């Protein structure tokens, strides 16, 4: 019987310096492929708004959408840890966060729920973990705040922004978060944060010093129509989707991805 990965296993992987490979999945077919190729963390992302629904951003994705896709993915995954995004405006208060996260776990089968933001979500992170719900934080470029951020730009470039991100990361860990995603962050800063935390840090466009990497599956396969500096088309050099996923996992594990050309900032 396949052993299901847990948040404790990911912490052990970090301690052993074993890189964590993560990809998104939104349906049963791709979820099985990822699981069979030993993807450690399968993220049911609100990126489904763009990838599945064809929207310009993630903001219209609903709780109903996330529960639906989470249930599909969690229903077939046997090994990977299933992390599911809390959608836009679904955790504006502690009570709302508790209710919606409970639904993602009980109805959607999520192993971990992911929330974007720093200080503003700390109370919710504490409440969720106190109620037995595992939480992943998300700092840097937070797509649900895309209008407030003014577009898709690297975050944490100046001293104050970097200091705030370091503080937020430590505070999220102290509040009970079991892992953290850093998106579009200078590689040096991402490395500092990764080394300062005991929980795993998964990067996307954040250099190669994080404890693992995540990409949107369709970006990694080169079928999203986006030319993203921090991604790589693994299907270009593979004879099947399965091989492309296996090559991605190997490249994350041996540290060859992301290469310097995939770093969005020093």
The residues carrying an active-site annotation are 183
Contact in structure between 213 and 192 (CB atoms under 8 Å): no
- Token readout for 99 is 């209710």
DSSP string, the chain: -PPPP-HHHHHHHHHTTPPEEEEE--SHHHHHHHHHTT-SEEEE-TTHHHHTT--SSSTT--HHHHHHHHHHHHTT-SSSEEEEEPPTTS-SSHHHHHHHHHHHHHTT--SEEE---SGGGHHHHHHHHHTT-EEEEEEES-GGGHHHHTSS-----SHHHHHHHHHHHHHHHHHT-SEEEEES--HHHHHHHHHH-SS-EEEESS-S-SSEEEE-HHHHTT-SS---TT---GGGG-SSHHHHHHHHHHHHHHT-SS-GGG-S--
Instruction: Report how far apart, in Å, the C-alpha atoms of 222 and of each of 6, 39, 76, 175, 229 are.
Output: 30, 18, 25, 37, 12
Report the alpha-carbon distance of residue 67 to residue 53 in Å, rounded.
Answer: 15
């Amino acid at each position: 019987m396949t052993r299901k990965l847990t948040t404790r296993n990911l912490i052990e992987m970090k301690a052993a310096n074993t890189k964590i490979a993560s990809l998104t999945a939104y349906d049963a077919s791709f979820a099985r492929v990822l699981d069979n190729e030993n993807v450690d963390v399968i993220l049911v992302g609100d990126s489904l708004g763009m990838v599945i629904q064809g929207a310009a951003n993630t903001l219209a994705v609903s709780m109903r959408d996330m529960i639906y896709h989470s249930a599909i993915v969690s229903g077939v995954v046997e090994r990977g840890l299933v992390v599911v995004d809390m959608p836009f405006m679904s955790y504006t208060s502690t009570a709302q966060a508790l209710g919606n996260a409970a639904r993602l776990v009980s109805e959607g089968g999520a192993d971990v729920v992911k929330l974007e933001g720093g200080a503003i979500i700390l109370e919710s992170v504490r409440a969720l973990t106190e109620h037995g719900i595992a939480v992943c934080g998300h700092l840097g470029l937070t797509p649900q705040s895309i209008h407030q951020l003014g577009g898709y730009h690297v975050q944490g470039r100046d001293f104050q922004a970097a200091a705030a991100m370091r503080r937020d990361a430590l505070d999220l860990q102290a509040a009970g978060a079991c892992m953290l995603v850093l998106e579009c962050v200078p590689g040096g800063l991402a490395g500092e944060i990764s080394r300062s935390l005991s929980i795993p840090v998964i990067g996307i466009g954040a250099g190669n010093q994080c404890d693992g990497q995540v990409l949107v599956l369709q970006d990694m396969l080169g079928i999203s129509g986006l030319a993203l500096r921090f991604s790589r088309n693994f299907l270009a050099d593979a004879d099947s989707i399965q091989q492309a996923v296996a090559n991605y996992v190997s490249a994350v594990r041996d540290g060859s991805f992301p290469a310097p050309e995939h770093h969005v900032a020093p």
